Amino acid sequence: MKTPMALSEFSIIERYFTAQSHRKDVLLGVGDDAALLQVPVGMQLAVSVDTLVAGRHFPENTAPRAIGYKTLAVSLSDMAAMGAEPAWATLAITLPESDPDFVGAFAEGLFVLANQYGVELVGGDTVRGPLSTTLQLQGLVPDGVALLRNGARPGDHIFVTGSLGDAGAGLALRQGSTCADEGAADYLVSRLDYPVPRVEEGKTLRGIASAAIDISDGLLSDLGHIIERSGCSAELELDRLPCSQALRHCVGDGEALKLALTAGDDYELCFTVPEARLDRFTEVSADWPARPSYVGRIVAGNGIRLVGESADALQGLAGGFDHFRE
């Protein structure tokens, strides 16, 4: 039996976790034993779940609003990587105490994103214990067009959205590193706390990208998943990796490159586009808020090969992510 949140469990739910916006396809939301949701004909359900544990997935000193935001943001990023339209969320939250300030700020961070992406919170569970959150997100994608990890083929071009390595530097700053440029430091920490899920970008990649993944563990690791599942290899051009000014400024060019390859938590998309679809890709990506960057090619073989001036020095990092190694 689990320990319920003292007396205030129901008031917490009612006060903070009642949906703020309503979707027509929610027949029954928070308040009954289960939610009832209508999946439209011709659509498939994309389902993901992620748990964030204090001290492990976010530093203990993270602002409650950022914890709420990130709890939903990481799942929205999974939907983006599938090309799915986010729709319904359930939230299981474990709280050390029923502190209204904490829960209020957490809920505010969560609903900012939920409202922005038209997601309705349709249920959950609220219990007492060490701080952790688990959010299940369900999204909709037309039959047969979801973006998978296994479709990359030799010759495909590899792209990423936004910039890489920022959140990794933000985490180091949270943990005590310093940067003389305060504006740059604030930017990097905001990239850690408030990642922008690339949901619209993911949707426009339907029928264009041959494979896609969101970068939660670092480019080498996540691109590693694509090539492993697709049975091929990748060549990454180090000069092409998008690093922000703020990142270069705070950690220097060499370290920036290392973070861009290995640091997680950026929640950008990495995807592959076959040559024949490049024109269409250029067209649909023209009005993305952040320019996608070409970073390399899919080739035959296995493992990831780095190309560029500092390739020799950094190839060891890629070796660690060779999923085919004996």
For ligand ADP, the closer of residues 123 and 162 by Cβ is 123
The reply on whether position 123 binds ligand ADP by CB under 6 A is yes
Question: Please, which residue, 1 or 180, has the CB nearer to ligand ADP?
Answer: 1
Using CB under 6 A as the binding rule, whether residue 17 contacts ligand ADP is answered as: yes
- Do 246 and 188 meet the contact criterion of CB atoms below 8 Å apart? yes
- Give the up-direction half-sphere exposure of residue 32: CA atoms within 13 A in the CB hemisphere: 9
**Residue 91, contacted partner among Mg ion, ligand ADP, none, CB below 5-8 A by kind:** ligand ADP
Q: What is the DSSP string of 216-263?
A: SS-HHHHHHHHHHHHT-EEEEEGGG----HHHHHHH-HHHHHHHHHH-
Q: Which of 15, 32, 38, 129 binds ligand ADP (CB under 6 A)?
A: 32
- Contact (CB, 8 A) for 59 and 174: yes
Only segment of 41-49, 80-88, 123-131, 161-169 that touches Mg ion (CB under 5 A): 123-131
Single out the residue of 1, 33, 60, 316 in contact with ligand ADP (rule: CB under 6 A): 33
Give just the sign of the alpha carbon dihedral 73, 77, 79, 83: positive
Q: Does 108 bind ligand ADP (CB under 6 A)?
A: no
Cβ distance to Mg ion smaller for residue 17 or 106:
17
Stretch that binds Mg ion, among 57-65, 124-132, 206-214, 267-275 (CB under 5 A): 124-132
Give yes or no for residue 135 binding ligand ADP (CB under 6 A): no
> What is the closest distance, in whole angstroms, from the C-beta atom of residue 94 to ligand ADP in the complex?
10
Q: Which of 15, 20, 22, 31 binds ligand ADP (CB under 6 A)?
A: 31
The residue with tokens 């049975």 is 231
Residue given tokens 């993270």 in the structure block = 62
95 in contact with ligand ADP (CB under 6 A):
no
Number of residues that bind Mg ion (CB under 5 A): 1
3-state secondary structure of 151: coil
CA pair distance 151, 83, nearest whole angstrom: 14
DSSP assignment of 156-176 equals PEEEE-S-SSHHHHHHHHHTT
Q: Across 63-218, where does the E strand assignment appear? A: 85-95, 120-128, 132-142, 157-160, 211-214
- The H-or-E segment that residue 149 falls in is none
Size of interface with ligand ADP, in residues (CB under 6 A): 13
Of 25-33, 142-150, 173-181, 266-274: span binding ligand ADP (CB under 6 A): 25-33
Contacts with Mg ion by CB under 5 A lie at 125
